[in-house]
Copies of this chain bind each other. A is one copy, B any other.
Amino acid sequence: MIQQMEDKIKNNRSVVKEQKGFTLWFTGLSGAGKSTISHILLDKFKKKNLKVELLDGDVVRTNLSKGLGFSKEDRDTNIRRIGFVANLLARNGVIAITAAISPYRAIRDEVRSMHDNFVEVYAKCSLEAAEKRDVKGLYKKARAGEIPQFTGVSDPYEEPLNPEITVETDNGTPEERAEQIIDWLTNNDYL
């Protein structure tokens, strides 16, 4: 009898452990490793059967930000929109990971203020290191003047003042940085 009930607790498919929803908001320069680390986390969370969605550059460009340009106003609208969608997920028990540069502190803080559970992750990397990697060739184009208002080159990046987590991506592997984030989330009762 007791065994049956224990089995019921463990196996009943209609009974699941409730997951804590939150937004894991990456910010940092282009090339700082936001997307790489967030994909690693996406895989790890999926393996733990956690509900998770990654709103990274491609997803956002295709599905959310069409029609927006590069003006300050349009960029702010884009970040607010990502924040709106992330919060819809977070407040319904899902982990929402975002990986936009989100260079402006005021808009990040505005997005934070919408949320109950917001974890800001600063992917900290020197401009030199990010530019040296230049995986997508964007810095080269920006230096050549082919991309206007490029963060770190012709537009400011405002560092977070009190991010929940800072990962120094100049050093170590993306895998190590992902583990650092998971440790923080575990120690702070998010996982």
Residues of A within 8 A of B (CB): 1-2, 5-6, 8-9, 13-18, 51, 53, 63-64, 66-68, 74, 77, 80-81, 84-85, 88-89, 92-94
Contacts and interface: CB of A to CB of B under 8 A. Distances in A.
Contact of A92 (B6, B17, B74, B89): B89
A63 B110 CA distance: 14
Identical chains bound together, number: 2
Contact of A15 (B18, B68, B77): B18
A130 to B, nearest CB: 29
A81 B94 contact: no
Contacts of A13: 18
30 contacts: A1-B2, A2-B2, A5-B9, A8-B9, A9-B9, A9-B15, A14-B17, A14-B18, A15-B16, A15-B17, A16-B16, A51-B92, A51-B93, A53-B88, A53-B92, A63-B80, A63-B81, A63-B84, A64-B81, A64-B84, A67-B67, A67-B74, A67-B77, A85-B85, A88-B88, A89-B89, A89-B92, A92-B92, A92-B93, A93-B93
